[in-house]
Amino acid sequence: MSASIRRIALVVLLLSTSFGAVAGAGAAAPSSAPRTPQLTAEPIAVQAGGTLTLQGTGFPRNAHVTLLAGPPDAEATRIGGATTGRRGRFTATIRIRPRSSAGALVALACHDACRVKASTRFRIVAP
């Protein structure tokens, strides 16, 4: 291989490497990592007979989510459901039964047989 061909090949290699670095510098890397679902409760302390608002984010878009609640480390009971919007978010208002016992509870939002889920804690307080 002649010296001039080697120089041309080296210039082409350097230009292609530099171009790739410059082209990728301003572009955002595609996010292949799945979003982690999250669930929040408002208020964190609610009186029996009051309402609890559960908000979820990071779920699949237009998906049905089952809402459950129960004491920590115990079986949860279905308390409602919601459907996410195009951004994977939902808001659900849950009425706490007037005769509910005071105590700490865990709310759980489940999708796809609970393979996609998020949880948060809240308390029922005495009036």
In a domain, 91, yes or no: yes
In a domain, 6, yes or no: no
How far is it, in rounded angstroms, from Cα 106 to Cα 104? 7
Looking at per-residue confidence, does 15 or 89 come out higher?
89
In a domain, 21, yes or no: no
In a domain, 26, yes or no: no
**Residue range of the domain that includes 111:** 38-125
Find the CATH number of the domain harbouring 104: 2.60.40.1930
pLDDT tens for 30-49 read: 444 568 999 999 999 999 99
In a domain, 66, yes or no: yes
Domain count, the chain: 1
Residue 127 is predicted with a pLDDT of 80
In a domain, 3, yes or no: no
